[in-house]
Chain A
Amino acid sequence: NAGVTQTPKFRILKIGQSMTLQCTQDMNHNYMYWYRQDPGMGLKLIYYSVGAGITDKGEVPNGYNVSRSTTEDFPLRLELAAPSQTSVYFCASRIQGATAGELFFGEGSRLTVL
């Protein structure tokens, strides 16, 4: 009964370092999303994928990259981390045909860039 699993839950990076946030889901959902959540700003869409091999930019893609080689996994890559990328990151998924809002979210990954 795992749902959407994100790792790591917490991470501190130095400016200029790179890292990958992992996201995996076991519900066979076609659609997967990465959001960032900043205080008082709601959730902003970074990237999304409608299936393996297909990815597209959201509202705030700069500084990030994604890949979708399998249905289950949707990692988010941060290259050259900057303080502006300090945030809580949420991965979400939904099944094709469900309404746009029927998202299953992971528990989040809190990233601090110093």
Chain B
Amino acid sequence: GENVEQHPSTLSVQEGDSAVIKCTYSDSASNYFPWYKQELGKGPQLIIDIRSNVGEKKDQRIAVTLNKTAKHFSLHITETQPEDSAVYFCAASTPRNQGGKLIFGQGTELSVKP
């Protein structure tokens, strides 16, 4: 089955710097890759997603890139702010006709220092 590896497990940056979190997946049939932000004491919240027919997607300070050949995708946060501090999870999903379940990475704890 699908396996998703996420790195790094912790990341500390200065306010205003960029942060990059990387994930690799094992199942080449996976075609959908969401990213979640989990604030302390809350459930994860979807922040951006990308499908396998797209190489990059941006939403303000957040972008996600996908390399299908290498089977890895990354989350990029520019101009980081203290409120970006949270745990971030990547996930991968196979098509619905092949199960369609989300497999999550291990999480990255991002700390943005003022």
- Identify the A interface with B (CB < 8 A): 4, 40-45, 48, 58-59, 90, 92, 99-103, 105-108
On chain B, which size bracket covers the interface? Answer: 20 to 34
Q: Is the interface of B mostly helix, strand, loop or mixed?
A: strand
In Å, the complex CA distance between A5 and B105 comes to: 25
Once A and B bind, how many residue pairs between them come within 8 Å at the CB atom?
A: 58
Contact of A40 among B4, B102, B107 (CB under 8 A): B107
- In the complex the two chains form, is A105's CB within 8 Å of B102's CB? no
**B interface list, Cβ under 8 A from A:** 4, 6, 9, 32, 34, 36, 41-46, 49, 89, 91, 93, 96, 100-107
Contacts A105-B44, A108-B43 given; does A99 touch B32 at CB 8 Å: yes
Asked whether A43 lies within 8 Å of B44 as measured between CB atoms, the reply is: yes
Contacts of B93 in A (CB 8 A): 100-101
Q: Are B42 and A43 in contact (CB under 8 A)?
A: no
Report the nearest A residue to B91, measured CB to CB.
Answer: A101
